[in-house]
Structure 1
Amino acid sequence: MASTVTYSVTGMSCGHCEKSVSSEVSALPGVTEVAADAKAGTVTISSEAPLTDDQIRAAVDEAGYELVGRSV
């Protein structure tokens, strides 16, 4: 079952930041679409397989940024 979740991310400030986060998150299994927005400080992830917050946090950390939680 496909799902879309938006997370708050700190530290992104430019297009390069967005690409770094998108690249790392896109590598997770089942991810079909990623939209990082530095201005809003968010990353929206669509996936075909369930992902845990820890998986997302690890990918965002790998890109050099901090996941601070799910956005509402």
Structure 2
Amino acid sequence: MLNLDDAKLEKHSVTIAGHRTSISLEKGFWRHLRRLAKEQDLSMNELVRLIDEARTGSLSGALRAFVLQSLEKAQ
């Protein structure tokens, strides 16, 4: 049977440019974002800030795209 627990949405608060904001992403994306931040020696807030500065669409979509691109690059 499939374990789709990673598909559950989780809301986390981050600080971007001194402002708190909440972001809802699936558990699996949060797990990979934490790993990617650690690999790059960044805090989660700093990683989200960098992605926020580079995005053209929604922040949650940019975060998902960043995770997917990182996973694809690692293959």
Relative to the length of structure 2, the TM-score reads: 0.29
Relative to the length of structure 1, the TM-score reads: 0.30
Between Structure 1 and Structure 2, the one with more strand by share is 1
Higher relative contact order (CA 8 A, sep 6+): 1
For the pair shown, the structure with the greater C-alpha radius of gyration is 2
Between Structure 1 and Structure 2, the one with more helix by share is 2
